[in-house]
Structure 1
Amino acid sequence: MHTKGLVVVVTGASSGIGRATALEFARHGAALVLAARGTEALEAVARECRAHRGARAVVQPTDVADEAAVAELARRAVREYGRVDVWVNAAAVAVFGAVEDVPAGEVRRVLDVNVLGCVNAARAVLPVMRRQGTGVLVDVSSVLGLVSSPYNSAYTMSKHALLAFDSSLRQELRLAGERDVRVCTVLPATVDTPFFQHLANRTGRRVRAMPPVYTPRRVARAIVGAVRRPRREVFVGASARSLRLVVAIGPGAWERVLAAKVDRDHFVRGEAAPHHDGTLFAPRPGPGSVGGGWHGTVRTAGRRAGTAAVAAAVAGLARRARR
C-alpha cells in the first residue's frame, strides 16, 4: 500500500510514539486526523504535520476510553476525507506500583484506555474499512505483551490483552473473507518518549526509561512499513526481537532476570518520588513533545557504531584469513 494520500487516524497523537507516527505519515503526504485528550498539544502536532509536503491534518480531542467519542472520531475522519485507510492506536497510560499498592480505579483506568480504547477503535473503524474493502488497523503493544514486569502489572496485562485481541480480530476477518482489511500489532522495546514522566507512580521511587532505549521515529517508521506491507506482528528494536527467543527457551529463568533488572535499572537510584496520578485521568497541559529526554538518539547511534565496528573487525579477520 502506498502511503501518499492515505487517510490516517492516529490516537495518542499529542506525544511520544503517536506524535512521531503522525509526523512520519505527514512526511509521506498523508491526510491526518489527530486524536488525544490535550487540545493544545494536538494543535501543535497538526501545525508540524502541515509543514510537511502540504500534508493535511485536523484535530479531534478524544478520550479513547469513551466509546461514543471514538465513534465520533471515526465519523469525523469520514466527513473530512470520505474514508479511513489506516487507524493507529498509540494512546496509552500506565501506573507503577506493587499490586497491593495500586488502587483498583487506577488499574481499571489503564485497562479502559489501553485495551478498551483499542476495542472501541476497532468497533468504530472496521465497518468503514469493510465497506471500502481495504484498510489497516495498527495497535501499538509492547515487548511487555510477551513478558511480565514487576511494579507494572496493569500496563503489562493491557499489552498482553492487545496481542490476544488482535489475533481474534485477524481470525474473524479471515472467516468473513476480508483479506484486504489487515490488523497489525507493533511491539516496541523501551522508547525515548515522555511516557515515563507521564505515568502514575505508587512506588515512592523515581521511574526512568530502562535501557536499551530506542527512538520514537524508529517505531514510527516501523508502523509506516507495516502499513506498506501489512503483517501480523512487527518487533521494533533488537532487544524486542531477541526477547521472543529468550522467552521461548527459558520463561522461568527470564522472569527472575527481568525482575532483578527492573528493580535495578527502571528506577533512579536513591531518588524518592511522591505518589501521583500522572496523566491517568487528565492530560498534561502544554504543547507536548515526541521525545522524553532519555537519549534514545544517542544510544541508538552508539549501538549502530558498535555494530559497525564489530562488522568491520569481522570483515578484516575474514580478509586476512583469505590472504
Structure 2
Amino acid sequence: MSRVVVVVGATSGIGRATARAFAERGDHLVLAARATDTLTEVRAECADAEVLTVPTDINEPAALEALAGAAVDRFGRVDVWVHTAAVMVYGRFDEVPAPVFDQVVRTDLLGAASSVRVALRHFRAAGAGTVVLTGSVLGHISAPYLSAYVASKWGLQGLARAVQQELRDSPRIRLCLVNPGSVDTPVYQQAANYFGRIGRPPPPISRPERVARAIVDCVDRPRREVSVGRLNVVLRAGFTVLPGVYDVLVGPLMRLAGLSGQPVAAHDGSVFAPNPTGEAVRGGHLPDLRQLVSGSAGAINAALRRRFG
C-alpha cells in the first residue's frame, strides 16, 4: 500500500533527493517549499508518484497546518512527515546581523518544531505515523563561523530526544533524526555570508541521495537517530574526549576546507527569500574532494606543530 509522505523543503538538496526516493517507491507525495516554480520542476521529476505541491513558508503562521490540511484533503491521511528545510549563514557571531541570526534559528529550529507539532497532532488522531527530521553532525559538535546553524542543530537534537521520550507511550508513532555530515548540496552557496568567502562542505562529502536513502530506510525501519558520514563518529569523539585539541584544529580546518578562496560581498542569501536559480539536488562540490583532503592533512600537521611543537 502506498504511503502518503509530506516532504518539507522539497526543492533542493536532501529534500529534493528524498522526494525522488519516495517517488521511486510509488508513494503519494505532498511537496512543500517556498519556491513555487521549483516545486513544479520537482513534481515533474517525481513522475512515478501522485504528487501534490503546496507552496509553503514554514515561518508563516498556520502555513504548516494548511499544508497538512491540503494533504488530508487530497489523500485522506498523512503517514510520513519529513522535514528537511534549512538555511545557513557564515560569519563571526558578533558580525552576523541579529535579524539574520534570528531567522536562521527561526527556520532551522522553530520551523522544525512547528513541523513536529503539526505532524504529531495528525498522527495522534490516527494512532500511527513517522516523523523524520534532518539534523546534522553539528548537532553534536561545533564549528566556527556557523553559530546560528550550530545553535539550531543542537536545539533540534534536544527537541528530538525529548519528543522521543514523550512518545514512549505511543509505540506506533515514531520520530527519527537523520544526522548527515558534509553533503553535496547547494545550501553552502545559498547561505547568507558575512565572512567574505563563499562556504563549501569540508570532506569527506556525501551525496544527497545517500542521505535520502537513510531517510526512506528510517521510515521502513524506524530508529531514534541515524548518522550519515564516515567521519561523524571521529568528530564527535574528538569534540568530547579531546576538546583542547579539537578547538586548536577546527578553526584552521574550517578556514581551509569549509571556506573557499572565492571572495563574496556581505549578503542575506536565501535566509529571508528563496533563490530558485540556485536550487538543485547537488551543489557541485564533490570534484574538489582530493584537493581538499590533501590540504586538510597539511592544515592538521601545521596546527599540531604550532600547538605542541
Fold shared, TM-score > 0.5 on shorter chain: yes
Cα distance in 2 for residues equivalent to 1:241 and 1:230: 21
Deviation at 1:287, TM superposition (A): 8.2
Cα distance in 2 for residues equivalent to 1:214 and 1:27: 21
Q: 2:183 aligns with which of 177, 191, 201?
A: 191
Cα distance in 1 for residues equivalent to 2:223 and 2:247: 28
**RMSD across aligned positions (CA):** 1.7
SS in 2 for 1:231: coil
* Structure 2 residue 40 is the aligned partner of structure 1 residue 33: no
Q: Is the 8 A contact 1:36 1:62 kept in 2?
A: yes
Q: Is the 8 A contact 1:42 1:287 kept in 2?
A: no
Deviation at 1:59, TM superposition (A): 0.6
SS in 2 for 1:238: coil
* Structure 2 residue 207 is the aligned partner of structure 1 residue 215: yes
Deviation at 1:132, TM superposition (A): 1.6
Which letter does structure 2 place at the counterpart of 1:16?
Answer: G
Q: 2:117 aligns with which of 108, 115, 123?
A: 123
* Structure 2 residue 218 is the aligned partner of structure 1 residue 226: yes
SS in 2 for 1:183: strand
1:74-113 matches, cutoff 5 A: 74-113=68-107
Identity %: 43
Q: 2:45 aligns with which of 43, 48, 60?
A: 48
Q: Is the 8 A contact 1:40 1:287 kept in 2?
A: no
* Structure 2 residue 287 is the aligned partner of structure 1 residue 273: no
Deviation at 1:212, TM superposition (A): 1.3
- Per-residue CA deviation, residues 254-312 of structure 1 (Å, 9 max, x unaligned), is 2222222102211223x32111111011111348310111127x959xx9xxxxxxxxx
- Per-residue CA deviation, residues 82-121 of structure 1 (Å, 9 max, x unaligned), is 1111111100001100011101100110011101111111
2:251 is aligned to 259
Which letter does structure 2 place at the counterpart of 1:49?
Answer: C
Deviation at 1:240, TM superposition (A): 1.7
* Structure 2 residue 132 is the aligned partner of structure 1 residue 138: yes
SS in 1 for 2:183: coil
SS in 1 for 2:29: strand
TM-score, structure 1 normalization: 0.86
Change in CA separation of 1:197 and 1:223 when aligned onto 2, cut-off 3 Å: same
Which letter does structure 2 place at the counterpart of 1:25?
Answer: F
Cα distance in 2 for residues equivalent to 1:239 and 1:88: 25
- Per-residue CA deviation, residues 218-256 of structure 1 (Å, 9 max, x unaligned), is 000010111111111100011123333333322332222
Q: Is the 8 A contact 1:41 1:287 kept in 2?
A: no
Q: Is the 8 A contact 1:66 1:117 kept in 2?
A: no
Structure 2 gap ranges (5+): 294-309
Q: Is the 8 A contact 2:192 2:271 kept in 1?
A: yes
Q: Is the 8 A contact 2:141 2:236 kept in 1?
A: no
1:6 is aligned to 3
2:21 is aligned to 24
Cα distance in 1 for residues equivalent to 2:238 and 2:221: 27
Q: Is the 8 A contact 2:178 2:228 kept in 1?
A: yes
- Per-residue CA deviation, residues 14-44 of structure 1 (Å, 9 max, x unaligned), is 0000000000010111100000000011110
- Per-residue CA deviation, residues 168-220 of structure 1 (Å, 9 max, x unaligned), is 1111112xx21110111111011001111100000112222221111000000
SS in 2 for 1:66: coil
2:306 is aligned to none
SS in 1 for 2:231: helix
1:157 is aligned to 151
Cα distance in 2 for residues equivalent to 1:204 and 1:245: 31
Figure out how many residues of one structure are paired with residues of the other and give that number. 291
TM-score, structure 2 normalization: 0.90
Q: Is the 8 A contact 2:189 2:198 kept in 1?
A: no
2:197 is aligned to 205
Change in CA separation of 1:67 and 1:242 when aligned onto 2, cut-off 3 Å: farther
